Amino acid sequence: MQTLINLKDIVKTYQIGTVEVQALRGVDILIHSNEYISIMGPSGSGKSTLMNIIGCLDTPTSGIYELEGELVHTMDDNKLAEVRNRKVGFVFQTFNLLPRATALHNVELPLIYSGISAAKRKVIAEDAIEKVGLTDRMHHRPSELSGGQRQRVAIARALVNNPSLILADEPTGNLDSTTGKEIMAIFDDLHNAGNTIILITHEKIVADHADRIVHILDGHIAEDIQVKNN
């Protein structure tokens, strides 16, 4: 198995005025390619902070982060943007789609920033939309789509650049349980197709889709269990 992510003693401290909030207090974790990991923990335990650091949206206050052999914690903003563009696909609880753009254009967005030509973009994006089963809705705007459909668009956008890992922060948090199941089925499919998936949730049923469950408590990894073997 190939090492994808190596976090060593990651600390993240937020400064609010004179008060320091320690969101992460020394996290060590090793993640391999094609793993399917759930991160669980109570609200405020630092799950999102960890995901943002793994996804290169944020940088740790201290510690070492290695992604596919590259040292992320030393990168500048431009390099981080490039890594996000090529190696990471995000799925958020609140979908985070551009409201005025069609589903297709939303999915094309990462490709725009990797400098792919308009014609090629369209083909690749349509392909990704097909994977999440939304071909008939690709010219609709987010406001014309249901919550589940919006999350499918977001998933298509996350995988359109063929990233090394897909990060999902409570992807079913804003969905009813039936729709949530449909979304989780898509993640299962993506994992079976060879993608590395890290998903944050506080629901046990959602977490159980993964092969490995990591529990976070108060900025620490409290538990890290391999529940299935693949």
Instruction: Please give the Cα distance from 86 to 96 (Å, whole number).
Output: 19
Our CB check for another protein shows the closer of 25 and 141 to be: 141
Q: Does 1 bind ligand ADP (CB under 6 A)?
A: no
Instruction: Please give the Cα distance from 147 to 183 (Å, whole number).
Output: 10
Considering only 48, 59, 106, 161, the residue that binds ligand ADP (CB under 6 A) is: 48
Quick one: which H or E segment has residue 205? helix 204-207
Q: Does 49 bind ligand ADP (CB under 6 A)?
A: yes
Our CB check for another protein shows the closer of 85 and 195 to be: 85
**Cβ–Cβ under 8 Å, residues 89 and 34:** no
Alpha helices in 56-115 (DSSP H): 77-87, 103-113
Which of ligand ADP, another protein, Mg ion, none binds 121 (CB below 5-8 Å, type-dependent)? none
Positions 144 through 173 that interact with ligand ADP (CB under 6 A): none
**Cβ–Cβ under 8 Å, residues 175 and 147:** yes
**Cβ–Cβ under 8 Å, residues 145 and 173:** no
Our CB check for another protein shows the closer of 96 and 179 to be: 96
Which one of the spans 40-48, 68-76, 86-94, 112-120 is the region binding ligand ADP (CB under 6 A)?
Answer: 40-48
CB of 85 to ligand ADP, least distance (A): 23
Q: With CB under 6 A as the rule, give the number of residues binding ligand ADP.
A: 12
Our CB check for another protein shows the closer of 54 and 213 to be: 54
Q: What is the 3-state secondary structure (H, E, C) of 175-203?
A: CCHHHHHHHHHHHHHHHHCCCCEEEECCC
Q: Does 47 bind ligand ADP (CB under 6 A)?
A: yes
Residues that bind another protein (CB under 8 A): 52, 55, 57-58, 77-78, 81-82, 84-86, 90, 92, 96-98, 100, 109-110, 112-114, 118, 157, 161
The residues near 18 (Cβ < 8 Å, ≥ 6 apart) are none
Question: Which residue in this structure is represented by tokens 């629901």?
Answer: 203
Q: Does 191 bind ligand ADP (CB under 6 A)?
A: no
Our CB check for another protein shows the closer of 87 and 215 to be: 87
Our CB check for another protein shows the closer of 84 and 215 to be: 84
User: What separation, in Å, do the N-terminal and C-terminal C-alpha atoms of the chain show?
Assistant: 11
Instruction: Please give the Cα distance from 101 to 223 (Å, whole number).
Output: 41
* Contact footprint for ligand ADP (CB under 6 A): 14, 16, 21, 23, 41, 43-49
